[in-house]
């Protein structure tokens, strides 16, 4: 990455790495932590590669100091972590607080700040307390108020030091993989119905939490709150086909627009979602009318509930129209979307099957967000490259990936004038990669999962990332007078 022109990144650019509680912490039943839906999903067996679990993971609950050394070795300016809701509030409600959970995160936050690293904290990264799932989880209307109480508790406990908050990570993935496909916890397969309900309650929960912060905490704490949205970049499969072009717009609306439009544009779902789900609901004989819920006028609107844009980008797709295909009369999200994303055969696949490497897709997506949704600052809150199979500590292909990707981010800043404020590599450490277990490695540090010490070793790409950060620091120091 030595050839990268780092001077295009502003001097206060956030150089980060990201993790999530369930993927790294382990200590699943230690010191009063309550179970989450991922504990249940893993322990039920059958849903995760070789029945791996996050019971121990990187044991960051006990080895936090080792993680801190990794963060320092990289020279990160920012570290994005998530809080385990059920470690703080074992049954999900503020009726029972677990003081050891609070103490753990206090130490993490204090240590980061003492080392000059700014924490960015995600309140929810896929790990709902099981006790709340037992009350129907994201499908229940009440969840939004319960989440708001949890958020309020976190702002109160940590907001004196934490100034960058993400309420929800990837509501699309939680809703679609967790409630439509059933491949992620809580493993619900209820095509075409629960997915929209879960997504809707996530938006309500986010909006309530943002308003609470804005009214009660922002005046004193002066932080910023957003939600992290994942999106592929998408282009028509056949550039000459108007049907593929229309399908591409729907593909973007049903992934990014589903959450970005209510928050950044109109306070409501994209028109294409509203119209299609309504007409297909009628066509499919749904008794309750549209399966896409409506936002109530009696609740705070989702519109304007973000102080920056947080984007998780991994890959791109070529989109084919599916309106005439086998999904036409199927009650399902993909049937509603009427579009299918496919991988272009010219794109290399890294490790995990869904991740085709398309660095310039990120530049295009950044410009699209600026043109379509907002001129607020954008943080790339996740982006990364995985390895599968034999471990290569000298991971030249991943070095190339980071070089190419950062170059594209640089072009977005210098040529497209997109206000990108930071970049967080996914991930600091190899970790529990959801239903791929430990078979897929995203870390800048290798973790030896075969030995109880769980030794962390920097990859070649980690060294290169550290070199970029230090080069940037030395070349863009604000001039002293
Ligand atoms: C993100 N997919 O999730 C998450 O925020 C991380 O927790 C995760 O480790 C990372 O990406 C890498 O996968 C995704 O199947 C999980 O398309 C699955 C998918 C996409 C993103």
Instruction: Check if the beta carbon of residue 102 is closer than 8 Å to that of residue 84.
Output: no
pTM of the model: 0.98
Q: What is the mean pLDDT of residues 27-40?
A: 98
Q: What is the mean pLDDT of residues 230-235?
A: 98
pLDDT of residue 329: 80
Q: What is the mean pLDDT of residues 247-273?
A: 98
CATH number of the 14-443 domain: 3.20.20.80
Per-residue confidence band for 65, with pLDDT thresholds at 50, 70 and 90:
very high
Could you give the CA distance from residue 245 to residue 228 in angstroms, rounded to a whole number? 26
Instruction: Inform me whether the pLDDT recorded for 268 exceeds 90.
Output: yes
Instruction: Check if the beta carbon of residue 267 is closer than 8 Å to that of residue 303.
Output: yes
* CB contact burial 125-144 (16+ within 10 A = b; e otherwise): bbbbbbbbbeebbbbeeebb
pLDDT of residue 478: 67
Per-residue confidence band for 379, with pLDDT thresholds at 50, 70 and 90:
very high
Phi, psi values for residue 468, rounded to 5°: -65, -45
Could you give the CA distance from residue 249 to residue 242 in angstroms, rounded to a whole number? 11
Please tell me if the CB atom of residue 246 comes closer than 6 angstroms to any atom of ligand 1: no
How does pLDDT run across 400-421, given as a tens digit for each residue? 999 999 999 999 999 999 999 9
Could you give the CA distance from residue 13 to residue 21 in angstroms, rounded to a whole number? 25
178 token code pair: 């967790």
Q: What is the mean pLDDT of residues 387-396?
A: 93
pLDDT of residue 326: 75
Phi, psi values for residue 464, rounded to 5°: -65, -40
Please tell me if the CB atom of residue 435 comes closer than 6 angstroms to any atom of ligand 1: no
| Higher-scoring residue by pLDDT: 305, 289 | 305
Instruction: Inform me whether the pLDDT recorded for 481 exceeds 90.
Output: no
- CA 299-169-460 angle, 5° bins: 165
* Protein residue whose Cα sits closest to atom 12 of ligand 1: 433
Q: Ligand 1 center to residue 182 CA distance, Å?
A: 15
Instruction: Inform me whether the pLDDT recorded for 169 exceeds 90.
Output: yes
Instruction: Check if the beta carbon of residue 34 is closer than 8 Å to that of residue 127.
Output: no
From 168, 314, 398, mutation site for ligand 1 pocket: most ligand atoms within 8 A of C-beta: 314
Atom of ligand 1 nearest to the CA of 20: 7
Q: Ligand 1 center to residue 363 CA distance, Å?
A: 20
How does pLDDT run across 113-154, given as a tens digit for each residue? 999 999 999 999 999 999 999 999 999 999 999 999 999 999
Alpha-carbon distances of 257 from 33, 231, 366, 370, 376, rounded to whole Å: 35, 9, 14, 13, 16
Instruction: Inform me whether the pLDDT recorded for 270 exceeds 70.
Output: yes
**Rounded mean pLDDT of the chain?**
97
Q: What is the mean pLDDT of residues 470-479?
A: 86
Q: What is the mean pLDDT of residues 66-90?
A: 99
278 is catalytic: no
266: left (phi over 0), alpha (psi -120 to 50) or beta: alpha
Of 99, 342, 367, 302, the C-alpha closest to 334 is 342
Task: Enumerate residues 6+ apart whose C-beta is below 8 A from 212.
Answer: 148, 151, 152, 155
Q: What is the mean pLDDT of residues 270-298?
A: 94
pLDDT of residue 479: 62
The residue annotated as part of the active site, out of 148, 382, 408, 464, is 382
Please tell me if the CB atom of residue 354 comes closer than 6 angstroms to any atom of ligand 1: yes
Could you give the CA distance from residue 398 to residue 462 in angstroms, rounded to a whole number? 9
What is the bridge-based pairing of β-strands 78-82 and 14-18?
parallel
Domain ranges of the chain: 14-443
Instruction: Inform me whether the pLDDT recorded for 2 exceeds 70.
Output: no
Burial class (CB in 10 A: 0-12, 13-18, 19+), 91: middle
* Protein residue whose Cα sits closest to atom 13 of ligand 1: 433
* Protein residue whose Cα sits closest to atom 9 of ligand 1: 433
How does pLDDT run across 172-192, given as a tens digit for each residue? 999 999 999 999 999 999 999
pLDDT of residue 480: 63
From 173, 350, 352, 384, mutation site for ligand 1 pocket: most ligand atoms within 8 A of C-beta: 173
Could you give the CA distance from residue 405 to residue 402 in angstroms, rounded to a whole number? 5
Task: Enumerate residues 6+ apart whose C-beta is below 8 A from 326.
Answer: none
In three-state form (DSSP H/G/I as H, E/B as E, the rest C), the secondary structure along the chain is: CCCCCHHHCCCCCEEEEECCHHHHCCCCCCCCCCCEHHHHHHHCCCCCHHHCCCCCCCCCCCCHHHHHHHHHHHCCCEEEEECCHHHHCCCCCCCCCCHHHHHHHHHHHHHHHHCCCEEEEEEECCCCEHHHHCCCHHHCCCHHHHHHHHHHHHHHHHCCCCCEEEEEECHHHHHHHHHCCCCCCCCCCCCCCHHHHHHHHHHHHHHHHHHHHHHHHHHHHCCEEEEEEECCEEEECCCCCHHHHHHHHHHHHHHHHHHHHHHHHCCCCCHHHHHHHHHHHHHCCCCCCCCCCCCCCCCCCCCCCCCCEEEECCCEEEEEECCCCCCCCCCCHHHHHCEEEECCCCCCECCCCCCECCHHHHHHHHHHHHHHCCCCCEEEEECCCCEECCCCCCCHHHHHHHHHHHHHHHHHHHCCCCCEEEEEEECCECCCCHHHCCCEECCCEEECCCCCCCCEEECHHHHHHHHHHHHHHHHCCCCCC
């Amino acid at each position: 990455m030595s050839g990268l022109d780092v001077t295009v990144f502003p001097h206060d650019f956030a150089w980060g790495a990201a993790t999530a509680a369930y993927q790294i912490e382990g200590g699943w039943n230690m010191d009063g932590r309550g179970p989450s839906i991922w504990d249940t999903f893993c322990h039920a067996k059958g849903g995760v590669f070789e029945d791996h679990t996050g019971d121990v993971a990187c044991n960051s609950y006990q080895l936090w100091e080792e993680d801190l050394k990794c963060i320092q070795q990289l020279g990160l300016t920012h570290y994005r972590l998530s809080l385990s809701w059920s470690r703080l509030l074992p049954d999900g409600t503020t009726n029972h607080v677990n003081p050891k959970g609070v103490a753990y995160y206090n130490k993490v936050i204090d240590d980061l700040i003492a080392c000059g690293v700014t924490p960015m904290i995600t309140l929810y990264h896929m790990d709902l307390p099981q006790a709340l799932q037992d009350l129907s989880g994201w499908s229940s209307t009440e969840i939004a108020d319960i989440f708001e109480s949890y958020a309020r508790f976190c702002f109160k406990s940590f907001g004196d030091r934490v100034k960058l908050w993400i309420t929800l990570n990837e509501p699309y993935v939680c809703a679609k993989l967790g409630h439509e496909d059933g491949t992620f916890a809580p493993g619900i397969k209820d095509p075409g119905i629960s997915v929209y309900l879960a997504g809707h309650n996530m938006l309500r929960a986010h909006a309530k939490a943002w308003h609470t912060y804005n009214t009660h905490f922002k005046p004193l704490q002066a932080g910023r709150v957003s939600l992290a949205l994942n999106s592929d970049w998408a282009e028509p499969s056949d550039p000459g086909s108007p049907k593929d072009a229309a399908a591409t717009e729907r593909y973007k609306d049903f992934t990014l627009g589903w959450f970005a439009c209510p928050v950044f544009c109109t306070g409501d779902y994209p028109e294409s979602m509203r119209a299609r789900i309504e007409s297909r609901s009628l066509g499919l004989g749904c008794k309750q009318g549209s399966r896409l819920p409506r936002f109530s006028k009696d609740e705070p609107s989702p519109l304007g509930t973000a102080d920056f844009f947080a984007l998780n980008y991994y890959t791109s797709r070529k989109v084919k129209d599916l309106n005439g295909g086998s999904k036409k009369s199927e009650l399902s999200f993909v049937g509603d979307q009427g579009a299918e994303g496919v991988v272009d055969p010219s794109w290399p696949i890294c490790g995990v099957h869904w991740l085709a490497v398309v660095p310039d897709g990120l530049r295009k997506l950044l410009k699209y967000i600026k043109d379509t949704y907002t001129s607020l600052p954008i943080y790339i809150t996740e982006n990364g490259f995985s390895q599968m199979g034999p471990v290569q500590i000298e991971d030249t292909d991943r070095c190339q990936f980071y070089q190419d990707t950062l170059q594209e981010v640089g072009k977005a800043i210098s040529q497209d004038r997109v206000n990108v404020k930071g970049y967080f590599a996914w991930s600091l450490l190899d970790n529990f990669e959801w239903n791929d277990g430990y078979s897929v490695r995203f870390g800048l540090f290798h973790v030896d999962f075969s030995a109880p010490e769980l030794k962390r070793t920097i990859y070649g790409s980690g060294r290169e990332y550290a070199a970029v950060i230090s080069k940037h620091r030395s070349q863009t120091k604000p001039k002293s007078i």
